Amino acid sequence: MPLRKQALLALALAALVALLAAAALLAARGSPVAGIALAAVTLAIAVAAADALWPAFDPGGTSLRAGRRDRAEVALTFDDGPGPDTAAVLDALDRAGVKATFFVLGRAAEAAPELVREAARRGHLVAQHGHGHEKLHLAGPATLAAEIDRGAAAIRAAGVEPAPFFRAPHGFKSALLRRALRRRGLVLAAWTRGVWDTERPGAAAIAERACARMRGGEILLLHDGAGEVAGEREPAPERRREQTAEAIPEIVRRWRAAGFRFVTLDRLERPPRAAGGGVAARLGGLAVLTLLITLGLRHADVRGVARALAGADPALLLAAALANVAGLAAQALRWHVLVRPVAPRATYGASFRALVGGYALGLVLPARAADPARAHLHARASGSPTATLLATVGLDHLTASFAFLGGLGLFGLFAPLPGWARSAAWSTLAVATAAAALAALLARREAAAAHAGWLARTWARLRGGLTAAGDPRVVARSLAAALVGWAAETLVALLCLPALHMPASVTVAVLMVVATTLSAAVSVSPGNAGVFELAAVVALEALGVDRELALAYALGFHAVHVVPVALLGVAFAARGGTRALTGAAAGAPPDQAR
């Protein structure tokens, strides 16, 4: 990703965090309606911007964004042609024995119809890219219809029937574009990796970018043109794509050496469509969050809460935030120890970035989205299957649960615990024990054969993620890291007490950790917002703390968790977007890439 785009992404994420912080401040200072309205408008704009400008963002799941990750397939796609170097690209593909997909511009097809015919004659897939490379995210129905239909007509006039795929110029899209494509029986096609060959960095650099972090189902975006007239005598250097043509042999060689085969988009096997329950879970989570905020504001003196927050000690809150970062580091180590047996090439840095990146995404996605998010991010870094890493996340939660129970039991020897805490501990022990027994049983099962069906292979990958459960030394190291993490979490809760002018009490801090940890088990709202505060307030009120002070503490305690995660997420994005979040590793071997 070019530096300019990295900077814009970082600026956008920073603006999002700043606006949400301003909304929280408005609500805390006695203007809850204005704060909620600002937060709602900010989130709505963020979702709309992501839908328009992020090619892979598709809440409905109707577009083609990637192939199946468990298949050793990769698709080469070329945009903006035909151009002066399309013939060289076709020749390079022929020599490599590869078929690709060409997203053709109508105006370029009108200028060089013979190249469109030649691409189809050689067995490549010819699809639509609009007519004049117009940005379509703000276009109205008439403009959309003209762009789609004129582009299709130009391809047909060249003697080729276009394939039912459409790639939006720049990846910019809208609900209106989706509707227009749906009416014409076209599928919106995105990509998994932009190679940025238009920067003309040289054939070697293009090949390196195209071959980094190999994994199944990749759709590579390259260019064979720039929308120019193919027959012009002296095209400007920046409009030439000869470097792309020169890079094709090396790209093909590396992917094939890693065990992959090249396919056109119509032959790329798509992953099964996610069930519609995901949208329902998001809406339900937001509804619960809204209800909790409304109830909280109705039964609390907002001005009293604001006064308590205004009088908070910023130095102690900063210390609590730093303790939370230390806790994140311990959590990442706890998980990394369990990941290493199934992903030997994984680094601790990749585990930390994936963990924090997952938590950062969980701040805006409800229903425990952080867990699959961190597994997916780590899969991009290590090349291991997402299902396998998702199983390590489950094992990580088990390790954390047993360390939590062990620490709570030790604490109970020195200080009395209220009845609700003891009941919660016994319930957690029962669930964790049953889950551990199931994990041990699954880990002993034999893996499915390579030719087995998709469901059997998925189960095999999930069982593979439980490998660490059979190694007592690995489990012991993970438990040790988990205990350090819980100690850091207790320190966070303890520092927040005097920060809000409450007596520093280890017992109260432990109870805050217990209450808020239990709230995470039933979290449906983004970032556990609302549920976290409710759990902390109920526990503090049971100890006789004034409701307004309890709510101020809950908000401060939650803030020192959320703010560092958000800032680290922005920092990782500024270092290079998704690749920085994932710590992408180049050249994973085939057994890790699939």
Task: Give the 3-state DSSP-derived string for 259-309, with helices as H, strands as E and coil as C.
Answer: CCEECCHHHCCCCCCCCCHHHHHHHHHHHHHHHHHHHHHHCCCHHHHHHHH
Residue 118 has what pLDDT?
97
Distance, first Cα to last Cα, the chain: 25
Q: List, for the chain, all residue ranges whose pLDDT scores fall below the cut of 50.
A: 229-232, 274-283, 446-454, 576-594
**Predicted local distance difference test score (pLDDT) of residue 279:** 47
Q: Provide the β-strand partners of residue 102.
A: 78, 126
- As beta bridge partners, residue 104 has 81, 128
Catalytic option among 223, 336, 378, 561 = 223
Maximum distance among all Cα pairs of the chain, rounded to whole angstroms:
87
Distance separating alpha carbons of residues 271 and 217, to the nearest angstrom: 9
Phi, psi of 287 (to 5 degrees): -65, -45
Task: Please name the residues in contact with 241: beta carbons below 8 A apart, sequence gap of 6 or more.
Answer: 81, 83, 84, 85, 86, 88, 89, 197, 223, 224, 225, 226
Q: Which of 228, 200, 261, 203 is nearest to 76 (CA)?
A: 261
Tens-place pLDDT, residues 357-371: 888 878 876 656 788
Catalytic entry in 51, 79, 80, 224: 79
Among the residues of 160-276, which ranges form H helices?
Answer: 175-183, 203-211, 242-257
Give the separation between CA 459 and CA 466, rounded to whole angstroms.
11
Query: How many Å apart are CA 225 and CA 154, to the nearest integer?
Result: 16
Per-residue confidence (pLDDT) for residue 582, from 0 to 100: 36
Q: Read off the amino acid at residue 251.
A: I
Sign of torsion, CA 368 370 372 375? negative
- Find tokens 């151009």 and name the residue: 83
194: left (phi over 0), alpha (psi -120 to 50) or beta: beta
Query: What local confidence, expressed as pLDDT, does residue 449 receive?
Result: 42
Beta bridge partners of 128: 104, 166
Assess contact for 367 and 285: CB atoms under 8 A. Answer: yes
pLDDT of residue 586: 32
CA separation for the pair 83, 231 (Å, rounded): 8
- The verdict on whether omega for the bond into residue 82 sits within 30 degrees of 0, i.e. cis, is yes
The closest alpha carbon to 586, from 216, 214, 276, belongs to 214
Distance CA 13, CA 568 (A): 11
Query: In terms of Cα–Cα distance, which of 231, 227, 240 is closest to 131?
Result: 227
From the CB of residue 161, how many other CB atoms can be counted at a distance below 10 Å?
Answer: 10
Give the pLDDT score at 490. 94
Read off the tokens for 355: 């963990």
Type of residue found at 74: V
Backbone angles phi, psi at 203, to 5 degrees: -60, -40
Nearest CA among 365, 352, 382 for reference residue 572: 352
CB atoms within 10 A of CB 275: 10
562 in Cβ contact with 363 (< 8 Å):
yes
Known catalytic membership, residue 313: no
Active-site annotation holds for 79? yes
pLDDT in tens, 215-246: 899 999 999 998 654 444 556 777 799 999 99
Q: Say which residues have a Cβ less than 8 Å from residue 283's Cβ, sequence separation at least 6.
A: none
| pLDDT on residue 303 | 73
